[in-house]
Amino acid sequence: MTPEEFRKYGHQAIDWAADYLEHPERYPVLPAVKPGELTDALPARGPEQGEAMEAILADFERLIVPATTHWNHPGFMAYFGISASPPGVLGEIFAAALNVNGMLWKSSPSVVELEQVTLGWLRQWTGLPEDWFGCIYDTASTSTMHALAAAREFADADCRTKGARPGMVVYTSEQAHSSVEKGAMALGIGQDNVRKIAVDDAFRMRPEALAAAIESDRALGLRPCCVTATVGTTSTTSVDPVAAIAEICRRYGIWLHVDAAYAGSAAVAPEFRWAFEGCEHADSMTTNPHKWLMTPVDCSVFYTRHPEALRRAFSLVPEYLRTAGDPRAVNLMDYGVPLGRRFRALKLWFVMRSFGREGLAAAIREHVRLAQELARWVDADERFERTAPAPFSVVCFRYKGTDEENRAIQERVNASGEIFISGTVLQGRFTLRLAIGNRATTEATVRRAWELICGAARGGAAGA
């Protein structure tokens, strides 16, 4: 492809993206495809000779887009909403063109330093201690695994050389994200050594149950090495009592990791700072700008007050990558499993500068306001009941009927193509879960979602 062709098709791509981001609702939020349908529509063998870009772009529109779940759709209310904000997309374009690999300071100083600078800004905006070190991984699951690895290194300096010692135990709540368990499996700690601490009625970890579990394990000669608390759990966005948990961790000398993958972004607005009380005592913390901070996937931020533990767990400098030891020349590859690093800080920098702290806080504030509106509508409707508090922008509720009726409501609503919600199980019962987090979602969208849910409930009750 010649530079002139790239310019031409690049402009076409931008026009497509501009139209798409202006009207993502032209597409059904969930695609009407069956498993294997896209696969069957594509050639089973790749082309021997290069093909014209026109043909590729035509197939993109004809085959790929209709098989895509539209996370940009205002009615995307499943999982956690995310946003391909225009400044974030611009940042990704430059990152793709520069195509640098920031494994070492020397391999691109801009990657390394812009990462430190933007994470410094984010630390200030969210009220975290100034001396924490930050780096960007792909996803929160990767961040969690690195937190567990650093915690283990902290507890057992021989682990690096000798391997995992039996008896290491990790604690988290019943409501924690699956990545805690997965991280423990990956690191060789094992699922059996993850204690899922009971929660209270508001789905928050019970500190006294945590302390009891730690005492019990210590009595057995086991070695508690990490507690993972959550600010904004995946099912209900509940907030673990981090201050109380931190005190327990301090007492027993256990690493505290805070998973704030979703809710961490909310700390840019002062009125949500209450949720982060005690986080300043954590040993590490994760928040995902690619969730609620207008940054395209992937961008998960990991902070720790003990970067040396992370380095001891992961640094291995082979001769062919050795550089001189200036302390400001951070080598990102020393801080985790992946050696190569995309220029992820660039999109974050574009987003932080283009929105400003106020702009991001305003977007989050509006999402929370919309969720609180919905919560009021649910509370005011006697056919429904709320199944969890809604401290942020996620509302859990159910039709007062059977699990099957609720699943039927979810299916009917999702088949509309207008909204996409997920469900979860709370206290043994299936419950609907509506998450607001996309920049295109407005009060009208939420009203329409509630209308569809109420309509489906009538149909569901009738059909049941």
What is the C-alpha to C-alpha distance for residues 194 and 173, in angstroms, rounded to an integer? 10
Burial 414-444 (b: 16+ CB within 10 A, else e): bebbbbbbbbbebeeebbbbbbbbbbbbeee
Among 29, 77, 135, 145, binds a second copy (CB under 8 A): 145
Contact at 8 Å (CB) between 448 and 419? yes
Which CB atom, from 67 or from 211, has the smaller least distance to a second copy? 67
Smallest gap from Cβ 93 to a second copy, in A, equals 5
Under rule CB under 8 A, residue 238 binds a second copy? no
- Find the binding residues for a second copy in span 345-364 (CB under 8 A): 346-347, 349-350, 352-359
For residue 16, state whether it binds a second copy (rule: CB under 8 A).
yes
User: What is the per-residue binding string for a second copy in 111-130, x denoting contact by CB under 8 A?
Assistant: x-xx-xxx-xxx-xx-----
Query: Of the two residues 124 and 216, which places its CB atom closer to a second copy in the complex?
Result: 124
Write the DSSP assignment of 145-176 as a string of letters: HHHHHHHHHHH-TTHHHH-PPTTEEEEEETTS
Binding mask 168-187 for a second copy (x = CB under 8 A): x--------xxx-xxxxxxx
By C-beta, is 39 or 221 nearer to a second copy? 39
- Angstrom CA distances, 86 to 22, 111, 295, 355, stand at 10, 21, 9, 10
Contact call for residues 292 and 364 (beta carbons, < 8 A): yes
- Closer of 55 and 202 to a second copy (Cβ): 55
Q: How far apart (Å, rounded) are the C-alpha atoms in residues 384 and 189? A: 42
Least distance between a second copy and beta carbon 458 (Å): 25
Beta carbon nearer to a second copy, 72 or 406: 72
Name which of residues 420 to 439 contact a second copy (CB under 8 A).
Answer: 422-425, 433
Per the CB < 8 A criterion, the answer to whether 240 and 274 are in contact is no
| Residue 416 engages a second copy in binding (rule: CB under 8 A) | no
* Contact characters 38-77, a second copy, x per CB under 8 A: xx--x-xxxxxxxx-x-xx---x---xx-xxxxxx-----
Per-residue contact string for residues 217-236; x = within reach of a second copy by CB under 8 A: -----------------xx-
**CB contact at 8 A, 294 and 265:** no
Closest approach of a second copy to the CB of residue 378, in Å: 19
User: Is residue 318 a contact point for a second copy (CB under 8 A)?
Assistant: yes
Question: Closer to a second copy at the Cβ: 278 or 289?
Answer: 289
The nearest distance, CB 283 to a second copy, in angstroms, is 18
Q: Could you say which of 90, 198, 454, 461 contacts a second copy (CB under 8 A)?
A: 90
Distance (Å, whole) CA 100 – CA 104: 11
**Residue 204: C-alpha distances to residues 174, 208, 221, 348, 407 (Å):** 9, 12, 28, 31, 26
Helical spans, DSSP H, in 43-130: 53-59, 86-98, 109-125
Strand boundaries in 334-449, DSSP class E: 384-386, 394-399, 420-426, 429-435
Nearer to a second copy, 48 or 201 (CB): 48
Residue 231, helix vs strand vs coil = strand
Q: Among 211, 222, 339, 454, which residue sits at the site for a second copy (rule: CB under 8 A)?
A: 339
Nearest residue (CB) to a second copy, 255 versus 349 = 349
Q: Contacting a second copy (CB under 8 A), which of 320, 380, 382, 462?
A: 320
Output the six-digit token pair for 186. Answer: 């990956």
The residues pairing with 104 across neighbouring beta strands, listed in sequence order, are none
Judged by CB under 8 A, the residue of 127, 129, 166, 253 near a second copy is 166
Site for a second copy in 440-459 (CB under 8 A): none
Figure out which of the listed residues 201, 219, 270, 316 binds a second copy, where binding follows CB under 8 A: 316
Q: Nearest-CA neighbor of 74 among 443, 453, 456?
A: 443
Of 204 and 291, nearer to a second copy (C-beta) is 291
Smaller CB distance to a second copy: residue 193 or 445? 193
Residue tagged 């005592």 (tokens): 281
One residue of 272, 314, 399, 450 binding a second copy per CB under 8 A: 314
The CA–CA distances, whole Å, from 179 to 175, 301, 463 equal 11, 15, 38
The interface region with a second copy, picked from 134-142, 248-256, 370-378, 397-405 by CB under 8 A, is 134-142
Identity at 50, one-letter amino acid code: G
- Binding part of the chain for a second copy, among 189-197, 238-246, 276-284, 455-463 by CB under 8 A, reads 189-197
Interface with a second copy in residues 286-305 (CB under 8 A)? 290, 296-298
Q: From 9-17, 208-216, 276-284, 456-464, give the range in contact with a second copy by CB under 8 A.
A: 9-17
Cis peptide before 283 (omega within 30 of 0): no
Q: 301 pairs with which residues across the strands?
A: 136, 287
Q: Which residue in 37, 385, 443, 451 binds a second copy (CB under 8 A)?
A: 37
Half-sphere exposure of 9 (CA within 13 A, CB side): 12
